[in-house]
Amino acid sequence: MDITKKLSSLQEISKTQLSKILCVNPSNKYLILEPSLIRPLERVCGVKWLKGYGVDKIFKLESAVPNFSTNAVFYMIYSDTKTFKHVIDQVRSQVDIENPPKNKFHVIVVPRYILSFENELEQLGLLHTAITLHSFQWMPIHLDVGVLSLEIPNLFSSLFVYQNTTFLPILSKILWQLCFVVGKPTYILALGQFSNALLNQYDQFCEDRGETDKVDSDFGALVLIDRNIDYPSALLTPGIYSALLSEVYTVNSGVCENKQELIDKLDEKCNPIVQKQVVSFSLDSTQDSVYADIKNRYFTEVTSVLSNLTKQLKSEKLNSKEMALDEIKHYVQTQLQATKSRKKIHYKPSTSSREYYKYTGTSL
């Protein structure tokens, strides 16, 4: 099987894991999603698939509590204490603590719930009575050709800021599962404290649960690097470029958004300022020809490439104003659509190449 098809099939494993959680209550259910989880979940499963497992309606997690009637309720959130407390407050406002409904409220935590979640529910008398906790980590999401992402936004702060290794077993388990799909690389290199710890846990998984029996691997080598080790130029990949871009803009599940800035509507001379439109584009080389051109370039070249494209688009705009009628018809038929497409997906980061270099490596 082609490697691209293998990586795309990883979502089927994720669906199986999620279906087991949803099936703990086979009746109709509501699914309430933390907003930042919506895009990644779309990469894992669609609304039609969720409806097949009894999901009647889907809501965003907000301050207001929807009317749940008698349906079961499944919350899905990232492993964040503040968000978890918000969910608990919503549940407590709807249940009778003395006589809580059984198998109604479930909280799915990505990638896993932590011990303090259990402790808090136990103190409130809600654990296994009103609320059931579930851990769910999807398999790596195939965002683009050769790009996989776990979509765990709080992983960096957890490991490198708070020195919390809670998520390391999750990463090692996923690496172990991934080797059953693509095979175990012949050569594995770990650089950094956490990467070495992850590799040790992976070896322990192989010893306790067995290794893949695939003789040939689709990858010759695997390199694990802590994000506080600076080797981006030596290991330039589309994944690293996406991570560099994420340092400046918001990148969520392979989609980058340049949100509209709050600026005055008039300049210093009281002339109206033209508001720039919000730009959103997918870091997917199969859909975005501009990204396909720059994603494998050394990042100091990216600014000049985008600058040249800007000049080209401006030149086409000026030339189009001087066209005769027959030239306009030919332009509309042959070039206009391609130009509009490049203009729509074209972006120019408002930062210098040197600022991009502040990125300090990549991780699983």
Domains delineated in the chain: 3-135 (3.40.50.2060), 255-356 (no CATH)
Strand spans (E) along 163-272? 187-191, 221-225, 250-252, 255-258
- List the single range of 101-115, 200-214, 296-310 with lowest mean pLDDT: 296-310
Enter the pTM of the model: 0.78
Over residues 126-147, the mean pLDDT reads: 89
pLDDT for position 205:
93
β-pair type (250-252, 221-225)? unpaired
| pLDDT at residue 108 is higher than 70 | yes
Question: To the nearest whole number, what is the mean pLDDT of the chain?
Answer: 81
Confidence of residue 364 (pLDDT cuts 50, 70, 90): very low
Strand spans (E) along the chain? 29-33, 55-60, 72-78, 105-110, 131-135, 141-144, 147-149, 187-191, 221-225, 250-252, 255-258, 279-282
| pLDDT at residue 87 is higher than 90 | yes
pLDDT digits (tens, 9 = 90+) for 9-18: 899 999 999 9
Give me the percent of the chain exceeding a pLDDT of 90: 37
Measured CA to CA, the distance from residue 288 to residue 306 in angstroms comes to 14
pLDDT digits (tens, 9 = 90+) for 300-358: 788 888 888 888 777 776 666 666 666 566 655 566 555 555 555 444 443 333 332 23
Measured CA to CA, the distance from residue 82 to residue 252 in angstroms comes to 20
